[in-house]
Amino acid sequence: MAKQPGWVPHGVIPAVLLPFNEDFSIDEASYRAHLRDVCAVDGVSALTTNAHASEVASCSFEEQKRVLAITVDEVGARMPVVNGVYAENGLEAARIANMAQDGGASALLVFPSGVFSFGQRAEMAVDHFRRVADASDLPIILFQYPLAGGQGYPLATLLKILDAVPSVRAIKDWCSNPQLHERHIRLLQSRSPAVNVLTTHSAWLMSSLVLGCAGLLSGSGSVIAALQAQLWRALQAGDLAEARRVNDRIWPTAEVFYSEPWVDMHNRMKEALVLLGKLPRATVRPPLAKLPAAEIERVRRALVDAGLLGERAKKVA
């Protein structure tokens, strides 16, 4: 199932973490175990790797290639694998896209260039996606950032990208604006063919999904994939009472994972998996740094409140 031409990203898509050894090398055995754990959750429709959650900014091209190879080998026969395309320039983005197609990915998650934080013209953004599409025939998920930072695509630019690059079949929407988010959902999912909106507003997940998203793509799925799948099923069934019950369990984790500073969100998720006995350590690569004990205790408390960890679980000293 690994390479699925024409697959349209939808449903519950966790972005997995990348465990490291104490010397910062990739802990391949723990990564494989993590992949199996997330993949086994009923209701997960695909996995994403080489993205924010797997600390892609600190991984070399060869490491990204290896991470994708492990992912496809471990779970690619069971579900699609989305590979991140994280690059400052279009030439490197095309190189990564070509590697991902050769490596068995089923779709690409294309990040905006960091250069756009200084400003962008529509033709720059369109060119970035054209280069990726020219290097691979895989479906593309466009990562939509908040407009305030400069890396988000204004709606007019977004529509130009979709018109020029038909292989963009979904967006991972992090616009951080509920009104704009709903506009994306209504406009993009009414296109022919539809461009699916996958929310990554994990701090207000239920509110976002109620607006009519076609799915979610979130790093917190590395920890709470089962709860996300339950929430998704409840909302698809129109069972608002059940959705609220599940959301009450998700809420404590969202409050701690997505608190300031946001740069520590995946750091906190690693600590959560250590507390749950699913990772041996929570090593992160620089510039990320080990969380202080008080912060890890907040993570532990959130897991208890979510019903994921027993009250008697050891407190962090």
How sure is the predictor about 6, in pLDDT bands with cuts at 50, 70 and 90? confident
Is the pLDDT reported for residue 268 higher than 70? yes
pLDDT in tens, 73-123: 999 999 999 999 999 999 999 999 999 999 999 999 999 999 999 999 999
Percent of residues, the chain, with pLDDT higher than 90: 95
Residue 3 has pLDDT above 90, yes or no: no
Q: What one-character-per-residue DSSP string does the chain give?
A: ----TTPPP-EEEEB----B-TTS-B-HHHHHHHHHHHHTSTTB--EEESSGGGTGGG--HHHHHHHHHHHHHHHTTTS-EEEEE--SSHHHHHHHHHHHHHTT-SEEEEPPPGGGGG---HHHHHHHHHHHHHH--S-EEEEE--GGGS-SPPHHHHHHHHHH-TTEEEEEE----HHHHHHHHHHHTTSSS--EEEE--GGGHHHHHHTT-SEEEETTHHHHHHHHHHHHHHHHTT-HHHHHHHHHHHHHHHHHHTSSSGGGHHHHHHHHHHHTTS-S-----TTS-PPPHHHHHHHHHHHHHTTSS-TTSPPP-
- Amino acid 297 reads E
With 90 as the cut, is the pLDDT of residue 310 above it? no
Q: Which CATH architecture has domain 11-239?
A: Alpha-Beta Barrel (3.20)
**Tens of pLDDT, residues 22-32:** 999 999 999 99
The three state secondary structure string of 100-121 is HHHCCCCEEEECCCHHHHHCCC
Give the model's pLDDT for residue 1: 35
Amino acid identity of residue 213, one-letter, is C
pLDDT at 48 over 70: yes
Choice among 64-68, 161-165, 184-188, 260-264 with the minimum mean pLDDT = 260-264
Q: Give the chain's mean pLDDT.
A: 96
The model's pTM: 0.95
Rounded Cα gap, residues 224 and 209, in angstroms: 16
What is the pairing mode between strands 196-199 and 168-173? Answer: parallel
Beta strands at 107-110 and 81-85: parallel, antiparallel or unpaired = parallel
Give the tens place of pLDDT for each residue, 171-194. Answer: 999 999 999 999 999 999 999 999
pLDDT recorded at residue 314:
63
The pLDDT confidence band at residue 7, using thresholds 50, 70 and 90, is confident
